[in-house]
Amino acid sequence: MSGDKGGFEGSHIHNKSAIKDRRKALRNNATPAEKKLWSILQHSNLKGYKFRRQHSVGYYILDFYCPSERLAIELDGDSHFTDDAITYDKERTAFLNALNIRVIRFLNSDVFDNLEEVCNQILTELNTYHPKRTTPPSGHPS
């Protein structure tokens, strides 16, 4: 995976080796909400869609990523509600959207309180058409 070009000729933005240890640490220390959702997403259990966990794009690490549909799923706990975190998440989403990667977010509590609805929303987004981008956004160091 580390050499995945993600469709961008000459650009290595997926799973950069520089942050491999960080991705591994996040996988090994998954939050309870991440573990619960991963139990549904792993092994293509959600209608055959393949997901990766702690997949990086640029220097951003995504909680879950479906490469075939270019969909990122982020789970948000309390740390996401500070002003700095909100700004960071907006910048991150804009970067990913510029690469034509869609981002959907759920609260950790959503995963625990209504996992079926979370899965339904993920499936709805997976089934929504979007064209593939062929060039990376300008101005971002990949």
Q: Where are the domains of the chain?
A: 17-126
Task: Take residue 120 and report the two structure tokens written for it.
Answer: 């339904």
Given this model, what pLDDT does residue 132 score? 60
Note the pTM of the prediction, 2 decimals.
Answer: 0.80
Task: Take residue 25 and report the two structure tokens written for it.
Answer: 């640490």
Q: Does the structure show a pLDDT above 60 at 133?
A: no
Tell me the pLDDT tens digit for each residue of 116-127: 999 999 999 999
Tell me the pLDDT tens digit for each residue of 7-36: 443 358 898 888 899 899 998 989 999 999
Rounded to the nearest integer, the mean pLDDT of the chain is 84
Which residues make Cβ contacts (< 8 Å) with residue 56, sequence separation at least 6?
14, 15, 16, 19, 23, 62
Task: Take residue 11 and report the two structure tokens written for it.
Answer: 């650009």
CATH architecture for segment(s) 17-126: 3-Layer(aba) Sandwich (3.40)
Helix (H, G, I), strand (E, B) or coil at 10: coil
Given this model, what pLDDT does residue 128 score? 87
